[in-house]
Chain A
Amino acid sequence: MKRTQLLLLLTLLCLLLPARAQDRLTTRMEQLRGRYDIHFIYDASLHGLLEATAPSRTFDASLTLEDALHRTFDGTAVAWQRRGRNVVLKAARPAPAAPRTRRVTLSGHITDAASGETLIGAGVLSGTTGAVTNEFGFYSLTLPAGKHLFLTAYIGYDPVRLELDLQRDTTLNFTLHAHASLDAARIVSRKDAGLQSVHPGSFEMPVSLIQRTPALLGEADVIKALQLLPGVQGGQEGFAGLHVRGGGPEENLILLDGVPVYNMDHILGLFSIFQPEAVKNVTLFKGAFPARYGGRISSILDIRTNDGNMRQTKGSLTVGLLNDKFHLEGPILRDRLSYSVSVRGLHSILAEPLLRILLKNDYYNYYFYDLNGKLTWRAGDRDRLYLSLYRGTDNGGFFTDYQSKTDLVSIHDTKTSRLGATLNWGSTVGALRWNHIFSPRIFANATLSVNRYRTVIDFSRATKGERIGESYDNDLRASYRSGILDIGARMDFDWTPAPDHLVKFGAEYIRHAFRPETLSSVTRAGEEQTVRNLLLGSDYIGDDASLYAEDNISIGNHLSLNPGLRLSCFSTQGRNYFSLQPRVSAKFAMDGGLSFKAGYSRMAQYVHLLSSTTIALPLDLWVPITKDIKPVVSDQYSLGAYYNGLPGWEFSLEAYWKEMDNLLEYKDGVILLANSEGWEKQVETGRGRARGIELFASKTTGKTTGSLSYTLAWSDRWFPDGSINAGRPFPYKYDRRHNLSLTLDHRFSEKVDLSASWVFMSGGTLTLPLRETAILFPDAAGMPVQQAPYVAARNNYRLPPTHRLNIGVNLRHTTRKGNEAVWNISLYNAYNAMNPNFILYRNDFIWGKDPASEDSLALFKLTVLPILPAFSYTYHF
């Protein structure tokens, strides 16, 4: 009896106990997936083993992920490795499977399911092998023949899993569906930029983040969003300049669909030329530059625009406080030919024709506009063509009539004058690109481009009148011109010779035609006309050619390398400058989400931007190197530690050291207007050094996301020949010691989200006379001593720090037609910090006045960006 009861009891207990004996790894994996929000990645061949194996120990929801994984897999035949939010599984003891010596390649494009837009940087992973799409959405992955489970993912999109039995080279195009959450799985393998990539100092900025970052007057801005990153600062407070790791604004290679642009802002920097609606991808390299980029020494900003929706016509219309924007894209031939057009302009551009008519005698206006257009043609499975155009310009002008009368004893003069001026500066960029897939392992892109940047200022004054009984008719017209014209061709190849190698190589040629400055005047007095060339800038022609090769190598599961070499040649005025530029980046990824990176790059730059050290009226001038002015060269070393083991968080700590040579600065005493003629004699070449530490932390998941960045940096210049600052080192104009940015974004619901950003920056530098001194002239007759302003050193004065809080709210709703509309309400500089946007000087030296009572040189900060509320309404259709 007792034995029977015991048996029954045991049976009952077995039934009642949690079905531990029935647990399988697959079941446990589901539990872990749901509890920790992770993904398991494994080869399809492992599936049977997972079904057949029980977990080693029980699972408790209070455990950490690491402990839970240990409890699940330790002691089984399955080995695991955690990589952030992905856990890679493989057999602990290699199964005696059939030998897989034959390799096959899977290649294709990854696109957005709704629009057909190619996705840049999307990943395809099988086991521990993976690939990412290039700038044209193409990927290539070489694997052993056999069954594979593929996981495809991209930020903002639902991942796709697909099991395939690969026996030959296969073309497979993936389409991904957008997900509302920003935190979709990110495949880690050969990313070009970002924490996952091999390059330190690289960053891939999602367009959605740009659009949510509150900026001036509610206008989302690419450059302003980048200024929130460590190591990146704007020039003047509130403006869209780009100074990266102690470099100047001309030291950034800004690529719009692969074509370098010279002018990237409007209204002297309040807005950048990049419309977020037209932008698909933004990648920034601050150091350790891949070999495929060259021509600038401080940063690479690679901006790719949308190809256009291949499936349906979509668009948006935005009306804002300052700007209107219109975007339209759609298919011309479905899945074959698409277009994308984005236009933006100030309200005043719409009023321009009316103002010219109504304000005929007293006209004034200012406006800017940007036009981005693109045609994309999928000529076949292997060929795609792109034609893109950008046109952006700032225009301002005024005309006014006035009369004057002089009635004295001996002079009777009545006069009518018409005074006018027009200003126009901007860029036109055009590019034709052809993608061709030679084979699953070789992808090629050919680009032809033209880029024109021009500044035109015209001034006129016409005067008619009568003086002492005689009539006169005079006029004066002056015209200032400055510009650059680039014509270029480029060929790029992506080659995957083996699974652990992605080789990029190619060649580029650009013909530069610079016209630094011309200023001429025509004076007419009656029938007599006089032409004067006040400045006659010579044209400079430069031929810029380069070859490059780089290899992205994966060595085991932990080590990645990207060695590269770039050879460039710049030919001008009968002289050739050659530059061999080694590049190398390395990444060592440890278990648990910790990784280390190091990088070195040598860069050469063949253009300069001359700018004054006095802020109030800088006259920037693009000039090329010449037979006497050598290229700028830099060597940059980077080192960093990164951690993304905490779900939803990323941390990085980077340090850099950059040495620069052959930098240009104006010599002391140079008159800034007269630079075109013999500008080479007005400048001196010297050296620079920049170093710093950057800290970055970001939360990327959940309803509340944000980031914190802090930079501690130094940047100096030194001209040892003595012509600048007596040969002593001095701080660079934009040497800012501390730079702190904090951003927060909270999604209250699908309809409401709030964003805020707070920035703090140490002040930049100015060259300023802080007092008066006396100077002695040798061999002078009489009093040989004269009073003069005393400038102790170049960039001797440091401006006060600046800080600012921006807030923005997005209110979304669905219209009756089912389209989305968004109200954006923003507050720029929310607590009205009186930051110096400009510095003004006033020289009020008055003879005989008590010098102790009034400054002879007064300094003022001009705040043009106080607290500024704004709103905009965007309608999507």
Chain B
Amino acid sequence: MKPRITILTAALLTGACTTPIDYQSGQEPELIIMNAFLRTDETEHTVWLSRGQLNDVNALPDATLDCYVNGTLTASGVLQDAERYTENYHTTACAFRFSAKLQPGDEVRLEAASGELHASATVTAPLPARLAAVDTVSMDSDRYMHVLACHLQLEDRVGETNWYRLCAVLDGKKQSISDTGETVRNESGRNAVSFEFSNDPILNDGYRTQDDDLALAESGVTLGTGIYNRFCSFRDQAFADRTAEVDIQIPTSSLHYWGTYNAQPLRAFITRQLTLRLLTLSEETFSYLAALNAGAPQGYSWSILTEPVHIPSNVQDGLGFVSLSSASSVTLRLPDVEVPEIDVEDW
């Protein structure tokens, strides 16, 4: 290691000279930034649009968005929460939503425009792989008090290199009932669910594991690289052209559906569905998620102590990333929960 503090000190002493470098000349002063994670198993799609200046990014509420599927204009995006975007409101991006049925194999082109700015992205939906749930069991784990352990079966697509991502969502419905037995309120919601997978070599795909962290902690080493597989994205190298079985653990604490917190403490019935999805990604999307993993320890900011992270962009005449993945899913019905009425004083 050759620290440069001494030479910088010497530089000051010898009358060093600093001159700014105009490194941004030649860059477009403004462009459109477009981001979206599209999936074939959804019909409602969200695209995030921003105005990218050299050193700042802001929402682009006055943009237009069109979606072409296989060359045909299929839908136009509608700005969500339009009333928010006033002159004094600063946010990084605004959401445009459109409805479209996307199939594996479809070529999707998104086109955004705002004044003289134009940007577009073209992506193709890969063909899906197969996911099956083999077994689930509730158990205690080393890290969490109580987990739902899921043993899953993945079937790779034969004859090609594939990239995948495993994710989970919890759909909950809560029926609140009054003293008289009438239904006061029905609510439903969807939350993404995080799960532990780092000990599975296929899912973790070579990233740091819990065991790595424990070994370091035991030796007293506190500095680590901090680059983990945050999105459970993985390649098919370990199970190419065949079936693999993988394990994940979902903390039961993340499987609770609370509904509206500030509602009255009524008796309620909660039904839950856990959906595990195997997304088949493009190689580009896999690289994008890998870049997000790499940039996480530094909070996606630039530092001279960190090797810079190149985040891919597939938007022409602009920046950003549009992804289209195909999904294969397994849905598990979780035990219903009856929530007893709670005294107001206790609540």
In the complex, what residues of A have CB within 8 A of residue B260's CB? none
* Contact in complex: A785, B93 (CB < 8 Å): yes
Q: Does B344 contact A (CB under 8 A)?
A: no
Q: Does B159 contact A (CB under 8 A)?
A: no
* Contact in complex: B1, A785 (CB < 8 Å): no
With the chains together, A778 CA to B230 CA distance in Å?
10
Question: Known interface pairs A532-B220, A681-B225. Does A791 touch B308 (Cβ–Cβ under 8 Å)?
Answer: yes
* Contact in complex: B24, A770 (CB < 8 Å): yes
* Contact in complex: A673, B223 (CB < 8 Å): yes
In the complex, what residues of B have CB within 8 A of residue A673's CB? 223, 305
* B192 interface neighbour in A677, A781, A860, Cβ under 8 Å: A781
In the complex, what residues of A have CB within 8 A of residue B6's CB? 267-268, 366, 396, 423
In the complex, what residues of B have CB within 8 A of residue A776's CB? 35-37, 48, 320-321
Q: Does B276 contact A (CB under 8 A)?
A: no
In the complex, what residues of B have CB within 8 A of residue A614's CB? 304, 307-308
With the chains together, A726 CA to B313 CA distance in Å?
10
Tally of contacts, chain A with chain B, CB under 8 A: 277
Question: A residues 646-686 with Cβ under 8 Å of B?
Answer: 666-674, 677-678, 681-682
Question: B residues 38-84 with Cβ under 8 Å of A?
Answer: 48, 50, 52-57
Report the minimum CB–CB distance from B293 to chain A (whole Å).
Answer: 7
* Contact in complex: A670, B227 (CB < 8 Å): yes
Report the minimum CB–CB distance from A667 to chain B (whole Å).
Answer: 7
Q: Does B86 contact A (CB under 8 A)?
A: no
Question: Known interface pairs A620-B1, A768-B23, A863-B19. Does A794 touch B221 (Cβ–Cβ under 8 Å)?
Answer: no
* A533 interface neighbour in B221, B304, B313, Cβ under 8 Å: B221
In the complex, what residues of A have CB within 8 A of residue B208's CB? 681
Report the minimum CB–CB distance from A726 to chain B (whole Å).
Answer: 5
In the complex, what residues of A have CB within 8 A of residue B8's CB? 838, 862
Q: Does A739 contact B (CB under 8 A)?
A: no
Question: Known interface pairs A614-B304, A668-B310, A859-B20. Does A536 touch B219 (Cβ–Cβ under 8 Å)?
Answer: yes
With the chains together, A788 CA to B304 CA distance in Å?
15
Segment from B117-125, B133-141, B177-185, B283-291 that makes contact with A:
B283-291
0/1 interface trace, chain B 1-23, chain A, CB 8 Å (1 if under): 11110111011001111111101
* Contact in complex: B53, A618 (CB < 8 Å): no
* Contact in complex: B307, A667 (CB < 8 Å): yes
Question: Known interface pairs A772-B52, A852-B53, A859-B21. Does A535 touch B302 (Cβ–Cβ under 8 Å)?
Answer: no
With the chains together, A674 CA to B227 CA distance in Å?
12
Report the minimum CB–CB distance from B80 to chain A (whole Å).
Answer: 12
In the complex, what residues of B have CB within 8 A of residue A786's CB? 92, 300
Q: Does B212 contact A (CB under 8 A)?
A: yes
* Contact in complex: A834, B310 (CB < 8 Å): no
Question: Known interface pairs A722-B283, A769-B308. Does A620 touch B2 (Cβ–Cβ under 8 Å)?
Answer: yes
Report the minimum CB–CB distance from B73 to chain A (whole Å).
Answer: 24
With the chains together, A375 CA to B302 CA distance in Å?
54
How many residues of A sit at the interface, in one of the four size bands?
Answer: 35 or more
* Contact in complex: B19, A860 (CB < 8 Å): yes
Q: Does A792 contact B (CB under 8 A)?
A: yes
Looking at A425, A673, A864, the one whose CB has the most chain B CB atoms below 10 A away is A864
In the complex, what residues of B have CB within 8 A of residue A677's CB? 216, 221, 223-224
Q: Does B150 contact A (CB under 8 A)?
A: no
With the chains together, A217 CA to B57 CA distance in Å?
48
Q: Does B126 contact A (CB under 8 A)?
A: no
Question: A residues 506-540 with Cβ under 8 Å of B?
Answer: 517, 519, 531-536
With the chains together, A670 CA to B305 CA distance in Å?
9
With the chains together, A777 CA to B8 CA distance in Å?
39
Closest A residue to B306 using CB positions: A671
* Contact in complex: B304, A616 (CB < 8 Å): yes
0/1 interface trace, chain B 196-233, chain A, CB 8 Å (1 if under): 00000000001010001000100111111111000100
Q: Does A360 contact B (CB under 8 A)?
A: no
* A268 interface neighbour in B4, B219, B301, Cβ under 8 Å: B4
In the complex, what residues of B have CB within 8 A of residue A834's CB? 17, 19
Q: Does A438 contact B (CB under 8 A)?
A: no
Closest A residue to B224 using CB positions: A674
* Contact in complex: A534, B167 (CB < 8 Å): no
* B305 interface neighbour in A396, A480, A532, A672, Cβ under 8 Å: A672
Q: Does B312 contact A (CB under 8 A)?
A: yes
Q: Does A37 contact B (CB under 8 A)?
A: no
* A774 interface neighbour in B15, B27, B55, B57, Cβ under 8 Å: B57
Q: Does A723 contact B (CB under 8 A)?
A: yes
Question: Known interface pairs A267-B7, A781-B192. Does A670 touch B1 (Cβ–Cβ under 8 Å)?
Answer: no
Q: Does A407 contact B (CB under 8 A)?
A: no
Looking at B10, B54, B311, the one whose CB has the most chain A CB atoms below 10 A away is B311
Q: Does A856 contact B (CB under 8 A)?
A: yes
Q: Does A779 contact B (CB under 8 A)?
A: yes
Q: Does A457 contact B (CB under 8 A)?
A: yes
* B294 interface neighbour in A668, A793, A794, Cβ under 8 Å: A668
* Contact in complex: B33, A669 (CB < 8 Å): no
Report the minimum CB–CB distance from B22 to chain A (whole Å).
Answer: 8
With the chains together, A202 CA to B192 CA distance in Å?
64
* B309 interface neighbour in A425, A668, A859, Cβ under 8 Å: A668
In the complex, what residues of A have CB within 8 A of residue B292's CB? 775, 777
Question: Known interface pairs A616-B4, A840-B18, A864-B11. Does A775 touch B310 (Cβ–Cβ under 8 Å)?
Answer: no
With the chains together, A859 CA to B301 CA distance in Å?
16
Question: Known interface pairs A779-B192, A866-B15, A866-B17. Does A785 touch B300 (Cβ–Cβ under 8 Å)?
Answer: no
In the complex, what residues of A have CB within 8 A of residue B27's CB? 770-771
* B3 interface neighbour in A457, A851, A859, A864, Cβ under 8 Å: A457
* Contact in complex: A774, B24 (CB < 8 Å): no
* A669 interface neighbour in B11, B294, B312, Cβ under 8 Å: B294
With the chains together, A563 CA to B19 CA distance in Å?
52
* Contact in complex: B92, A774 (CB < 8 Å): yes
* Contact in complex: A778, B1 (CB < 8 Å): no
Q: Does B295 contact A (CB under 8 A)?
A: yes
Looking at B8, B33, B55, B293, the one whose CB has the most chain A CB atoms below 10 A away is B55
Closest B residue to A790 using CB positions: B319
With the chains together, A772 CA to B33 CA distance in Å?
10
Q: Does B253 contact A (CB under 8 A)?
A: no
With the chains together, A791 CA to B52 CA distance in Å?
14
With the chains together, A840 CA to B206 CA distance in Å?
35
Q: Does A13 contact B (CB under 8 A)?
A: no
With the chains together, A539 CA to B301 CA distance in Å?
33
Report the minimum CB–CB distance from A402 to chain B (whole Å).
Answer: 18
0/1 interface trace, chain A 847-877, chain B, CB 8 Å (1 if under): 0000110111111111110100000000000
Q: Does A404 contact B (CB under 8 A)?
A: no
With the chains together, A394 CA to B216 CA distance in Å?
33
Report the minimum CB–CB distance from A808 to chain B (whole Å).
Answer: 20
In the complex, what residues of A have CB within 8 A of residue B313's CB? 773, 790, 792
* Contact in complex: B37, A778 (CB < 8 Å): yes
Q: Does B91 contact A (CB under 8 A)?
A: yes
With the chains together, A453 CA to B132 CA distance in Å?
57
Question: Known interface pairs A668-B310, A670-B306. Does A423 touch B287 (Cβ–Cβ under 8 Å)?
Answer: no
In the complex, what residues of B have CB within 8 A of residue A616's CB? 4, 304
Measured CB to CB, the residues of A under 8 A from B are: 267-268, 270, 366, 396, 423, 425, 455, 457, 480, 482, 517, 519, 531-536, 612-614, 616-621, 666-674, 677-678, 681-682, 722-723, 725-727, 767-781, 783-794, 797, 799-800, 834, 836, 838-841, 843, 845, 851-852, 854-864, 866
A669-B295, A864-B11 are known; give 5 further A-B pairs, CB within 8 A: A672-B305, A677-B224, A778-B37, A860-B19, A861-B19
Measured CB to CB, the residues of B under 8 A from A are: 1-4, 6-8, 10-11, 14-21, 23-24, 27, 33, 35-37, 48, 50, 52-57, 91-93, 165, 167, 169, 191-192, 206, 208, 212, 216, 219-227, 231, 283, 286-287, 289-298, 300-302, 304-313, 319-321
A-B contact pairs, 23 of them (CB 8 A): A423-B6, A455-B1, A457-B3, A532-B220, A612-B307, A618-B4, A620-B1, A667-B294, A671-B225, A671-B298, A672-B307, A674-B224, A677-B221, A769-B308, A771-B24, A773-B311, A774-B48, A774-B50, A774-B319, A783-B93, A859-B21, A861-B18, A863-B18
